[in-house]
Structure 1
Amino acid sequence: MPSCSLLLCLLYLSCIIPRNHGDTGPEEEHCTGRTKYDIKENARFLLYDVNPGEGFNLRRDVYMRVANLVHHLNEREPWVLVLPPWVRMWHWKSRDVDQDRLKWSEFFDVGSLGKHVPVIELGDYIKKRAPIIDEVYHLQGVVDVTDWDTIMIDRCQRDTRFQQDAQGKWRHWYFGIEEIYAEKFNCLSFFGQLSLMATFLAENTTGKLIFLPRAENLLHGEYGEHSSLFWKARRSMMYAKPLRDAGDRFRREHLGSDDVTDNTVLRDWTTVKSQPRQAVGGAYIAVHLRRGDHLHVRGRELPSIKEAAKHVKKLLKKLALDKVFVATDGTEEEYQEFRNYLKKHQVHQFQPTRQEVGIYKDGGVAIIDQWIACHARYFIGSSGSTVSFRIREDREILGFEQSTTFNRFCGDEESDCEQPAHWTIVY
């Protein structure tokens, strides 16, 4: 064990000495995942990455796939999920804010993640172990899909940006951490269940740290009534407390909303075995009004600002409400236009100061938006939006009636558009 101060040594020992899962204590906040899992001495580690072009909320979905892959691996031997740092994404517009290599704890309660599978931040892993990846399996689709459950080491279908240097080490961007390199590299064609990937990793790899780039090629393994594992991963993704606190403060000050009044008090998800749909929500409608690039991709399925406001006005009258919360990636002009159409009503938006953006980062601001939206009496989202999808999941976790959750705006030319499928929580 390396030399350290007495305090650091005690913290280190508290993280590695096994204890009963039922034991809890304040020191567990310092140990990633300590509330349920210990990182065992013989554990192996799985790191992953996602296509750089993917957005924040899609990356959250990929996390759940990889977490459940690690869940399957732990049925065979101890594995730990290494959390890749968040790097600046194209839709994080605050250029004067440092948003490179952010830890997961900026956005999520890492202790809660660790109640589902053992996890560790990449930076913490590197501090404890050498920054060497033993084996890389660059995931790609199967060119000729003839069978479900196909997996094989294959030729690379496109340039992977991995390069082997003169010493035989595989170099790559690796989240901008220069000292990382890999000993072995392969492309892996895959189409199938997570359990198939778990079998491959357990039976065909021996390294301590395995890296799966392009993990969006993994698929959720369970659906419908068999999706309790998906929902365990999803429920474990508690937002970081400072972000929840900021959202709760906004709800109290601007929307007259709090958890006791709204019947949305959140319990430890590991103790919840069923949830009656008794959430009332704050006395406001929450709107996710997707604009930006989505207008080019799904323009026919999105309303004009005028039609969106007209629909919200009808809902306010129907539900006898007067307040609207707007989450949108639209411009300030679009937001003001929406407000002008609803002059007789209170329309609110979370607009952080520059200092708050520096604290919460763009990803945190997005989470605060979603946290406020998911507590509304009624929610209406945008077609095909992962943001709307995540808000609906949060409302399922909180116990809202589905009729108040699974709603979307119709495009101006859609007379009676199809509403979102009910992705119902399973315990």
Structure 2
Amino acid sequence: MRLWLYVSLLLLVNPIYGYDEDEADEVTISKKPENVSPAKPQRYLLYEVNFGEGFNLRRDVYMRMASLVHELREQGHNFVLVLPPWGNLYHWNDRAKKVPWNNLFDTEAMNAYVPVIEFYEYLKVNPYYVDEVVYLQHYKEGWKDGKWSERYEKRDCIEADKYYRKEGKFWKGYMYSYDHVKIHNLTCLSIQGESSTLAKAINEYYPNTNTLFIDRAETVIHNEYGGVEYWKIRRSMRYHKQLRFIADLFRQETLYVNMHEDKIVYPKDWRDERELQRVAVGGDYLAVHLRRKDFLRSHSDHVPDLNEAALQIIEVAQVLELSKVFICSDADEYELLDLEKQLNSSSITAYRFTTKKISDGAISLVDQWIAAKAAFFLGTHTSTFSYRIREDREIMHFPVETTFNSLCKYAKDMGNPKKCEQPAKWTIVY
């Protein structure tokens, strides 16, 4: 009861469900300009991702764009990264739209890597106007000579006309559900490469464009997946302080975790994080991410049925002598009740975080934070939701063996690597 009373009072002070587009009168950027000359005009880089991509993949694309802006600034270009509002995502049952990043993430922490502003702040500086949309696309003919190679060039659009239309002198597009945004020009860029490849294209084709909108930003890949800069960006993507507080309060009051015995290392400022021994213990519960819905079709070779999942959860919990299991899942309610019944039959109590006080996006981050602080984590193979939890555990210095584990399709073959592929161990570097 105390948890929900606190959440209710918290929302009265600073709501994290919705927001007022006119709430900010000034646009402030605290990031130091690095190699950027003060005489350089401020430029803005906006981006969007394929409509069907989910929350956690979009978080990964942000990292690629942050890397892009960081490189452009290192080259002396005064770019600011404009954060695309969240909205209408597949797993968000509330179908919320125009959700700013500062409802879900600590944008001050993000701002310590590259300067970022919200889209509604951008509109105050450039009222409903974008200079150029650069629509990224793959090469129509595929790889050159059947081999992958870094390359880019302006080409005729292959599918951009599905999403943009010409109205008089200007172009119109989706633009995060914001109406009346005018686009001066649209070009299509065929590209194979990394964020640095896109930086080269911007320098060559758009050297003086003030506002660049990169669409289908997921087309480019990381410069160095799992490298030092990757982890700097990932560490800067801290969840909103209120969401972390709600998650920790749930752990204390529902899971009965003693926070002083966690041994979790998490400095106030991510830039103060250092390479340390893997000393984190976590709370005395097992965390499980059980992916269902579309994964039952698209990843049928790896996703276990409920009975198989229950057998594995029970086995791991018993080996670890844990009687509490925290479950985060997109399963239907009747499936979850069935799973809980099976766990209860083995004297294991299942817990879930549920509330209507905050948005679906906020709930997913609370889920991830609770799961990340468990004594042991079992994820779903290839799920980006599970990836993000493992990254959080790496940041908090958990042992590798308690982090990189996935549920198996066949419980009876858990020890068979051919039928039970475990996640790659992408460990943190500093």
User: Structure 1: how far apart are the matches of 2:283 and 2:199?
Assistant: 43
Q: 1:83 to 1:331 in 2, by over 3 A?
A: same
CA deviation string 1:49-80 (max 9, x = no partner): 01111111111011101110101111112111
- Residue 129 of structure 1 and its aligned partner are, at CA, apart by 2.7
Amino acid in the other structure paired with 2:342? Y
User: Structure 2: how far apart are the matches of 1:160 and 1:46?
Assistant: 22
User: Structure 2: how far apart are the matches of 1:412 and 1:37?
Assistant: 53
Which structure 1 segments of 5+ residues have no match?
1-29
Could you tell me which residue of structure 1 aligns to residue 252 of structure 2? 252
User: Structure 2: how far apart are the matches of 1:392 and 1:255?
Assistant: 20
- Stretch deviating more after TM superposition (269-278 or 363-372): 269-278
Does 1:63 pair with 2:59? no
RMSD after superposition: 1.8
In the alignment, which of 409, 420, 425 is matched to residue 422 of structure 1? Answer: 425
- Residue 170 of structure 1 and its aligned partner are, at CA, apart by 1.1
- Stretch deviating more after TM superposition (157-166 or 100-109): 157-166
Which structure 2 segments of 5+ residues have no match?
1-25
In the alignment, which of 136, 139, 151 is matched to residue 139 of structure 1? Answer: 136
In the superposition, the TM-score normalised over structure 2's length comes to 0.86
Q: 1:161 to 1:400 in 2, by over 3 A?
A: same
Could you tell me which residue of structure 2 aligns to residue 196 of structure 1? 197
- Residue 412 of structure 1 and its aligned partner are, at CA, apart by 2.4
User: Structure 1: how far apart are the matches of 2:31 and 2:165?
Assistant: 40
For the residue of structure 2 that corresponds to 1:422, the secondary structure is coil
Equivalent residue runs for 1:363-378 within 5 Å: 363-378=361-376
Could you tell me which residue of structure 2 aligns to residue 53 of structure 1? 52
- Residue 83 of structure 1 and its aligned partner are, at CA, apart by 0.6
For the residue of structure 2 that corresponds to 1:318, the secondary structure is helix
- Residue 163 of structure 1 and its aligned partner are, at CA, apart by 1.4
In the alignment, which of 330, 348, 351 is matched to residue 351 of structure 2? Answer: 348
Q: Give the aligned length.
A: 387
Q: 1:414 to 1:80 in 2, by over 3 A?
A: farther
User: Structure 2: how far apart are the matches of 1:269 and 1:58?
Assistant: 22
User: Structure 1: how far apart are the matches of 2:317 and 2:131?
Assistant: 57
In the superposition, the TM-score normalised over structure 1's length comes to 0.87
Amino acid in the other structure paired with 1:94? D
CA deviation string 1:385-420 (max 9, x = no partner): 111111111101111011000000110277221210
Q: Is the 8 A contact 1:247 1:371 kept in 2?
A: yes
Could you tell me which residue of structure 1 aligns to residue 333 of structure 2? 332
Q: 1:100 to 1:258 in 2, by over 3 A?
A: farther
Q: 1:83 to 1:262 in 2, by over 3 A?
A: same
User: Structure 2: how far apart are the matches of 1:293 and 1:386?
Assistant: 13
Could you tell me which residue of structure 1 aligns to residue 30 of structure 2? 34
Equivalent residue runs for 1:296-307 within 5 Å: 296-307=297-308
- Stretch deviating more after TM superposition (306-315 or 253-262): 253-262
Q: Is the 8 A contact 1:139 1:188 kept in 2?
A: yes
In the alignment, which of 161, 164, 175 is matched to residue 163 of structure 2? Answer: 161
- Residue 36 of structure 1 and its aligned partner are, at CA, apart by 5.0
For the residue of structure 2 that corresponds to 1:406, the secondary structure is coil
- Residue 339 of structure 1 and its aligned partner are, at CA, apart by 1.1
For the residue of structure 1 that corresponds to 2:74, the secondary structure is coil
Could you tell me which residue of structure 1 aligns to residue 224 of structure 2? 222
CA deviation string 1:295-331 (max 9, x = no partner): 1111231112122111111112211111110001101
Amino acid in the other structure paired with 2:322? L
Could you tell me which residue of structure 1 aligns to residue 72 of structure 2? 73
Q: Is the 8 A contact 1:72 1:198 kept in 2?
A: yes
- Residue 265 of structure 1 and its aligned partner are, at CA, apart by 4.0
